[in-house]
Structures are given as C-alpha cells and as structure tokens.
Structure 1
Amino acid sequence: MRVVGFIGPSGTGKSHRSVWVARERDIECIIDDGILIKGARIIAGTSAKKEKTKIASIKRALFTDDAHANEMKRAFEIYKPESVLVLGTSDGMVDAIVKRLGLPEVSERIYIQDVATEFEIKQALATRREQGKHVIPVPTFEIKKDFSGYFLDPLQVFRRKGKGRFQLVGEKSVVRPTFSYMGNYTISDYAIYQIVEHVTSKIEGVSRISRFRAENHIDGIYIEMDLILIYGYLIRPLLKEVQQKVAEEVERLTALNIQRLDVTAKGLVVDQKRIPSAL
C-alpha cells in the first residue's frame, strides 16, 4: 500500500484540498480527523469533529481508542486500498497515525504550502478563527446521520482546467463543531412545533395538530403527532404527504435528522368550505 502524508497546521485548509490532492495523485482513500473516506463515502471511523473538547478531538484523530483503531484496521482488510492519503498537523502526527493503524511507512509527504498560496492559507486560518468552520471531505448527505444538530453547509470543489474552465472534483461539507466556538445552541421543542404547525397548515385536508411530541436523541430527533383531518380526503396519502413535507422543512431549517416521524389521524371534522369538490 502506498501511504502519502498531507501535512499542515490546523485550520490551513488541508481537508478542503484533500479531495483535490488525492485526485491529482490517484490516491484511493483519505484518513482525516478519525475517519476513513473512499470516494464520497465514509467507510470507517468516527469524526474527531464530533468531540466536545479540543483534547478529545486530538485523541480521536490519533486513534488512541483501541476500538476506533481496530475498526479502521478491519476496513483496510475488507477494502484493501492500494493507496491512502493521511492528513496531519505535523510529520509526527502523520507518523503516529500510520504506526497506530499498522500501515506501511510514509513514502511521500505533501505540505500545505505545496498546494496552497500564502494568501489562501491566511484566508483559511481566518475562517477557522473567526467562524469556527471545519471541512469534512464528503457530501453533506453522507455525514448527516453522524452530525445531527450541527450546522452543515455543502461545498462543491472545482479544479481549474484552463482559462475560464473548471471541472467538478467533488463535494464537501462545512461543519461548526462544539469545540470550535464559545457557548452552545439549543433548538427548543416549541420552535420545532411551530415549524411543523406552519407546514401542516398549508396542506389541504389537515385541520389542526391535536398532539405533538419531539424527543432529541444522539442520532436525531423523534417526532410524534396526532392530526385532526378534514372529512373527504384520502387518509393514507394525506398522512404520507404530511410526513414528507414536515421532514423536509424541519431538516432544512434546523439541520436535525428526523429519525422517526409518527403521524396519527386522530379524528375527522366536516368543513363545508374545505371538503373536496368531488364530494
């Protein structure tokens, strides 16, 4: 296996450029902050950006946990990649990761100064310092299940092909981890309820919400709600429409994953103004 190190201080833009570096050098996999990435998928590991403190994040990135390191080793046995790009803040960190995971010695080292200008590095550092934004080199839909409740932004990466021409290299996600900024944020159940109420009020066939409950879990949010429907509408298709539209809007506005959304038709009302004309 060919092992390549990609080295640069924290916040200088390594993750941002890792997809491009891997593509240019025909490298199959990327190890970045505790996760193993193949193509546009996370195939093993847990992101260090999920940790609540900087120290815990560093430990996660160095695979100090045996279960975490063993998961990565099993993934290498299963997928058998021919090459891997290992990201680190120093030569020592890259060597420590390689040793911890039982990989061959690093055959090539690439430094952030080799692929980014001084201005680009300063710009990346300013973004990290002022906004606490971190990049994960996979599409947002791929990390959504692991980053429920985090601020997520999709980011497309292009490579210059010629004058005025660019080629799409890949997609990445921008997150703002807990350890990267002061304070916490909370989205109350009532705020979620208001979003749901607004969505359902615009769906024909729904009279009102009679009961609503939301529970936050590590993997996402669980919602239960009872609806009073208007007599004359097909109940099953109506409930499916409610599920779909509520899930889309809550996830769009809050970045929370809806792991379960139970909708119950609890009653019917006759509304002469809103009964379907076919009746």
Structure 2
Amino acid sequence: MEVIALVGPAGSGKSHRAQIVAYQNQCDLIVDDGLLIDREGKIRAGTSAKREENKMAAVRRAIFLNEDHREEVRSTLWSLKPKRVLVLGTSDDMVVRICEALDLPHPDRTIRIEEIATPAQIRLAQRKRQHEGKHVIPAPTFEVKKTFSGYMVDPLRFFFKRDHGLDPVTLEKSVVRPTFSSLGRFFIADTVIAAIATRAAEMTPGIGKVGKVVVESRREGVLVDMEVLPRYGFQIFEVMKAAQKAVADQIAHMTELNVLEVNVEARRLLVE
C-alpha cells in the first residue's frame, strides 16, 4: 500500500482540492480531519474534527488519539484494501502521526499545497476560513448531514476532466459553517422544533388538529413523535403519510437538522 501526503497550513484549501488530487494520483481513499472518505466522496468511517468545539479537541480528533475512533477508521481502511491512500495534514509530522495511528506506511511522496494552488488562491481560502468560518469536507452534502446535524451545509459541485479520453467526473464537496462562534454556541430548542412540526402537520390537508409532540435531539439528528386528529372523510393512510413527509421536510428546510424519524399517530377521527 502506498501513501501520498497532501500538506499545507490550516485553511489553505487542502480539503477543497483533495478529491482532484486523489483522482490525479489514483488514490482509493482519503484521510482528512478524522474522516475516511473514498474517492467518490462516500464517508466510510470516522468522525470529523470539524464537529469539535475547540482547536485542541479538533487536533486530537484529526490525529486519531481517541482509541475507538482510531480503531473504527483503521479497521475499515484495511478491510477496503486500497492500493493508494491520500493523507491530509498541516505538517509532515502530523501526516506521520496519522499514518502511525492507522498502521499505514510513511508517505512515499508529499504534495505541498503551494504546488497545486496559487498564492492568491491560498490567501482566499484562508480568508474565508478566518472571516466566514467556512470549512470544506470532500464529501456530498447528503453524506455530511448525517453527522453535521444542525450545521449550515452547502453543496459545491464541480467537474473534473480526466486524462486518456475518459469521461469527466462530477464531484461534490460540502461547505460547513459551524454552529458555534465568538458570540456563543448556537442551538435550536426542542420547543422550536415541536412548533415547526405542529405547523407543518396542521397545514396538511386532512389533518384537523395536532396533539402531543415529543422531540428527541441527538448528536446525529432529531426524532419526532406526534399525535394528530385526522378529519373524517379523508384517506387516513395517505393523510398520515403526507403529514409525516411535510414535518420532516419543514424541519430539515428551516433548521438544517438531520431528521432521523418522524412518527405520526392518529388518536381519533375529527368529525366536524
């Protein structure tokens, strides 16, 4: 197994260019900020350091100091039997520590961010990190939202033209804006989620009233249990199904939370 390192200062654009570098160097997997990602952008294992609430915790996550995290990524990586792995780090020493944690050989080759990005591009990336808090994860938004519930996540698609007459590849990355800042930590109260769920259900044709709504918030997303009173004369199954979808869609749209489950229970028919 070969290892290629991509090294550059924090916020210099390494994650932004990771998939292209992986394709250009035939790397099967990418190790970036605590995540194991394949070349197509699927998160195979790990937890992103970008979820941590301070720099120290992020560094510990990125270099796999947590035993359970390290073992999850290491075992998955070796089970996939990659021929070549791309490891991202802010320094040569960081890459070596990651390789040793995951039982990988030391890098066969190191690519510096200055070799693949202009000074102006690096400055722009660093400015966006410092002033806008933008972090890039080389994975599609639907993958990222599974572990970044409550974060503002924006998709970023681009085309990569391969050599030897092969068809272009469409790659997708995600831009993440953390929920915390110098002004304090941002969170969405369960009462707000319940209010959104209630309103979404009430707007569904065939739903007369909404009763009890229970919200369970987890790190990976939210679960909603709610009681409704369908109106007499409607197809109950179709109404419940429509209400369930409306609630899930509205919560996801208005909060960026990952909706794990919406359970809708009909208590009785509303006859008016």
Question: Normalising by structure 2, what TM-score?
Answer: 0.91
- Separation of aligned partners in 1, 2:57 and 2:37: 21
- Asked whether the 8 Å contact 2:180–2:186 carries over to 1, the reply is no
Aligned residue identity for 1:204:
P
Distance 1:181 1:34, change over 3 A: farther
Corresponding residue number in structure 2 for 1:25: 25
Q: Which has the larger radius of gyration?
A: 1
Q: Matched residues, percent identical? A: 41
Q: 1:50 maps to what in 2?
A: 51
How far apart are residue 4 of structure 1 and its match?
0.4
Q: For the residues of structure 1 that align with 2:104 and 2:181, how far apart are their CA atoms?
A: 30
1:275 aligns with none
Structure 2: state its 5+ residue gaps: none
CA gap 1:106/1:182 in 2 versus in 1, 3 angstroms: farther
3-state secondary structure, aligned to 2:185: coil
Between the aligned partners of 1:184 and 1:113, the Cα distance in structure 2 is: 34
Report the residue type matching 2:237 in the other structure.
Answer: R
Q: Give 1:68 shift.
A: 2.1
CA 1:262–1:142 in 2, change beyond 3 Å: closer, same or farther?
same
Report deviation, 1:178: 5.2
* 8 Å contact from structure 2 (residues 150, 179) kept in 1: no
- Structure-2 change in CA distance of 1:88 and 1:244 (3 Å): same
Q: Distance in 2 between matches of 1:132 and 1:180?
A: 9
Cross-structure match for 2:207: 206
Quick check: 2:179–2:187 contact (8 Å CA) kept in 1? no
Letter in 2 for 1:177: P
3-state DSSP class of the match of 2:268? strand
Q: Render the CA deviation track for 1:62-100: whole Å, top value 9, x for unaligned.
A: 111222222222113211000000000011111221122
Q: Structure 1 residues 205, 178: CA separation in 2 closer, same or farther (over 3 Å shift)? A: closer
What is the CA distance between 1:241 and its match in structure 2? 1.2
* Equivalent position amino acid for 1:8 in 2: G
Aligned-partner SS, 2:184: coil
**3-state DSSP class of the match of 2:146?**
coil
- CA separation of 1:54/1:217 partners in 2, compared to 1, >3 Å: closer, same or farther? same
Contact 1:54–1:179 (8 Å) recurs in 2: no
Give the Cα–Cα distance (whole angstroms) in 2 for the partners of residues 248 and 123 of structure 1.
35
Deviation track 1:108-131 (CA, whole Å, cap 9, x = no partner) reads 111111111111111111110011
Q: Distance in 2 between matches of 1:86 and 1:174?
A: 20
Distance 1:85 1:183, change over 3 A: same
Distance 1:181 1:168 in 2: 39
Aligned to 2:245: 244
Query: Which residue of the partner structure matches residue 155 of structure 1?
Result: 156
> Any conservation in 2 of the 1:6–1:85 contact (CA below 8 Å)?
yes
Q: In the alignment, which residue of structure 2 is the partner of 1:67?
A: 68
Question: How far did residue 210 of structure 1 move?
Answer: 2.0
Where 1:268 maps in the other structure, the secondary structure is coil
Aligned twin of 2:82: 81
Q: CA deviation at 1:57?
A: 0.5
- Deviation of 1:176 after TM superposition, in Å, equals 2.2
Say which SS state the counterpart of residue 174 (structure 1) adopts.
Answer: strand
Deviation at 1:248, TM superposition (A): 1.5
For residues 24 and 125 of structure 1, the distance between their equivalents in structure 2, rounded to whole angstroms, comes to 24
Residue 146 of structure 1 corresponds to which residue in structure 2? 147
Deviations 1:191-238 (A, max 9, x none): 223322332233211112122222212222121211121101111221
User: Do structure 1's residue 100 and structure 2's residue 101 form an aligned pair?
Assistant: yes
- 2:77 alignment partner, SS class: helix
The C-alpha deviation readout for 1:166-191, integer Å capped at 9, x for no partner, is 95541111112356654111212332
Aligned counterparts of 2:88 and 2:245: Cα–Cα separation in 1: 39
- Native 8 Å contact 1:132 1:181 kept in 2: no
Which residue of structure 2 aligns with residue 274 of structure 1?
none
State the 1:132 CA deviation. 1.0
Range that drifts further, 77-86 or 244-253: 244-253
* TM-score between the two structures when normalised by the length of structure 1: 0.89
CA contact (8 A) 2:149 2:221 kept: yes
Q: Distance in 2 between matches of 1:16 and 1:179?
A: 22
